Amino acid sequence: MANLNNLRHSTSHLLAAAVTSLWPKAKPTLGPPIEDGFYYDFADLTISEEDLPKIETKMRELVKNWDSFEKIECRGGHVDQPSKEIKYFKLLSVAGAYWRGSEKNPMLTRIYGTVFPTQKELDEYLTMLEEAKKGDHRKIGKELELFMFHETAPGMAYWLPKGVKLYLQLVDFWRKEHEKYNYQEIVSPLINKKELYETSGHWDHYKEYMFLSETEEGETYVLKPMNCPNAMVVFASSTRSYRDLPLKLSDTDTLHRFERSGTLSGLLRIREFRQDDAHIFIEENQIKETYKELFEITEKFYSIFGLKYRFRLGTRPEKFMGERKTWDKAEAELKEILETSGEEYSILEGDGAFYGPKIDILMKDSLGRDWQMGTLQLDFQIPKRFNLKYSAKDGTTKTPVVVHRVVYGSLERFIGIITEHFGGAFPVWLSPVQAKVLPITERNLDYAKKVGKRDRQGKDYGPVKVEDFISGVRKEIDEKSLD
């Protein structure tokens, strides 16, 4: 049996064959495997989801006589025997998508589907999709009055009072825990000249995701898309010694990235967000100890939510900065750290950052879905570009290594994921409303308010809600509503 990516990619070819058989003028463009299945983009095709059963029928008809692939241009991979291996598939939806993700290009019709080696796996996945629809974080967030969106700010959330409480609880917990590990929090400018990102290398590798602004003086400014260049500037602002290392600079600044409108998805894919970011400046001989501590922090953060996680090593991408031998050394270092740790991990070739290999934190939610959360990135490159130096113990001047790390990931994405994971029933310590006082009669109302006020002042627990209307009591009890 072919691996799952080959199966998905081969089924996308089958989809293209079926569509062009039914609509001869349709032009297939691109059909890659993706995390949960596959899609194919078509030009000159107008269909709706009502057409999907017809396309599926044609796919099943065509695959019966499809014995093998003849490789002409597509690099694959492909299954060996399509007629025997492509059996358990389902077309899921139809959407619009721009060619190569750019809004400057023509709009195409995208058909999504999924495929599995067995009927059982397909059925389980389709059941999970139905459950996911019921627990969509956008639906729950609206019901619980946590956050909202408006058409005038696509990809940017409005945080409502209850959502702000939840947000700040996460930040406060993060801040207190990191103080125990001697992290020092900084705040840096939201807007920076493009020269900062030219120095870091992000201008060449990340420009398409930046919000840019031109001034009358002809200068180009960037709405900050990441924190690391600013952390480099802070390190360079003082004379540093090996005695200062590890130097752990943390921040939760607001970031902006221009994600294409077609990719936006509630809090999960967003343009404005905050990360629980930190940059750790270390000597080379401190790499192992630093990652050991980061694994400890990861365990502490994820266990308090009852979240299961694993690690994934991302190696040198096609477009990278620096020398191959430096990359090989860094990758070998991270592989050894993972092996020694005994933690479960996988390897995704070519998925590293442009400046260094990384270890991503993958979390499995209550529906069995994997989500990429935080990341722990090893960087030998950007410190060199900023000419960062410290005085080593032997009297020489050296360049520090930097570990870029986030544990939550973006706070918005983390909240979106745990909202779906918990179905809105957050752990008590995190809940925006941790207790309710329900007056049974009108004469109890004033006393109920005193109780709520007393508990807030006494800090016996967090936010307390007092129901003002007697009619609300039965509703609260009958519906068991969440806050």
Give domain status of residue 369, yes or no: yes
Residues 82 and 221 in one domain: no
279 annotated to a ligand binding site: yes
Residue 469 has pLDDT above 80, yes or no: no
- Can you name the residues that pair with 376 across neighbouring β-strands? 359, 405
Residues 342 and 461 in one domain: no
With CA atoms as reference, report the closest residue to 380 among 294, 281, 311. Answer: 281
Report the range of poorest mean pLDDT among 114-118, 259-263, 317-321: 259-263
Report pLDDT for 102: 57
Q: What gap in Å lies between CA 58 and CA 26, rounded to an integer?
A: 15
Region of 62 (left: φ > 0; alpha: ψ -120 to 50; beta: rest) is alpha
Residue 428 has pLDDT above 80, yes or no: yes
Backbone angles phi, psi at 470, to 5 degrees: -60, -35
Task: Report the Cα 57 to chain-centroid distance in Å.
Answer: 36
With CA atoms as reference, report the closest residue to 230 among 203, 258, 207, 251. Answer: 251
Give the mean model confidence (pLDDT) for residues 362-366: 79
Residue 228 has pLDDT above 60, yes or no: yes
Give domain status of residue 101, yes or no: yes
Report pLDDT for 371: 80
228 annotated to a ligand binding site: yes
Give domain status of residue 106, yes or no: yes
404 annotated to a ligand binding site: yes
Instruction: Check which CATH number belongs to the domain holding 194 and give it.
Output: 3.30.930.10
Residues 230 and 365 in one domain: yes
Residue 1 has pLDDT above 50, yes or no: no
Answer positive or negative: Cα dihedral of 347, 353, 357, 360. negative
Buried b (16+ CB within 10 A) or exposed e, 412-427: bbbbbbbbbbbebebe
Residue 2 has pLDDT above 50, yes or no: no
Buried b (16+ CB within 10 A) or exposed e, 155-189: bebebbebbebbbebbeebbeebbeebebeebeee
Domain boundary among 392, 422, 452: 422
Residues 389 and 359 in one domain: yes
Please give the torsion angle defined by the CA atoms of residues 420, 422, 427 and 433, in that order, rounded to the nearest 10 degrees. 60
**Secondary element (H or E) of residue 42:** strand 37-43
Sort 97 into a burial class: Cβ within 10 Å, 0-12 / 13-18 / 19+: buried
Residues 223 and 107 in one domain: no
Q: What gap in Å lies between CA 437 and CA 446, rounded to an integer?
A: 11
Q: What gap in Å lies between CA 446 and CA 333, rounded to an integer?
A: 64
Per-residue model confidence as pLDDT tens digits over 81-109: 787 888 999 999 898 876 766 556 788 99
Q: What gap in Å lies between CA 164 and CA 110, rounded to an integer?
A: 36
Is the separation of the CB atoms in 228 and 404 below 8 Å?
yes
Q: In terms of residue numbers, what domain contains 105? A: 4-134
Give domain status of residue 128, yes or no: yes
Q: List Cβ neighbours of 264 (8 Å cut-off, separation of 6 or more).
A: 154, 155, 270, 271
Q: Give a three-class secondary structure readout of 6-40.
A: HHHHHHHHHHHHHHHHHCCCCEEEECCEECCEEEE
Domain boundary among 422, 455, 471: 422
Number of domains in the chain: 3
Per-residue model confidence as pLDDT tens digits over 401-411: 999 999 999 99
Residue 464 has pLDDT above 80, yes or no: no
Give the mean model confidence (pLDDT) for residues 468-482: 53
Report pLDDT for 354: 84
Residues 173 and 115 in one domain: no
Per-residue model confidence as pLDDT tens digits over 230-239: 999 999 999 9
Give the mean model confidence (pLDDT) for residues 460-483: 53
Report the range of poorest mean pLDDT among 220-234, 275-289, 341-355: 341-355
Residue 170 has pLDDT above 60, yes or no: yes
Give the mean model confidence (pLDDT) for residues 288-314: 91
Dig out the tokens for 77 from the structure.
Answer: 């991979």
Give domain status of residue 217, yes or no: yes
High-pLDDT (> 90) share of the chain, %: 55
Q: Angle, nearest 10°, between helix axes 411-422 and 161-180?
A: 110
More confident residue, 367 or 31: 31
Q: What is the overall mean pLDDT for the chain?
A: 87
Give the mean model confidence (pLDDT) for residues 59-81: 73
Give the mean model confidence (pLDDT) for residues 187-212: 94
Residues 274 and 188 in one domain: yes
Q: List Cβ neighbours of 270 (8 Å cut-off, separation of 6 or more).
A: 155, 156, 157, 259, 264, 410, 412, 413
Residues 212 and 345 in one domain: yes
Report pLDDT for 147: 96
Q: What gap in Å lies between CA 247 and CA 41, rounded to an integer?
A: 48
Residues 96 and 212 in one domain: no
CA distances in angstroms from 414 to 42, 299, 354, 372, 422, listed in the order given: 34, 16, 24, 10, 12
Q: What gap in Å lies between CA 373 and CA 359, rounded to an integer?
A: 11
Give domain status of residue 153, yes or no: no
- Can you name the residues that pair with 184 across neighbouring β-strands? 249
Q: List Cβ neighbours of 438 (8 Å cut-off, separation of 6 or more).
A: 448, 467, 472, 473, 476, 477
**Secondary element (H or E) of residue 310:** strand 308-314
Residue 199 has pLDDT above 90, yes or no: yes
* Positions marked active-site: 228, 257, 275, 277, 279, 358, 404
Give the mean model confidence (pLDDT) for residues 282-307: 93
Report pLDDT for 293: 96
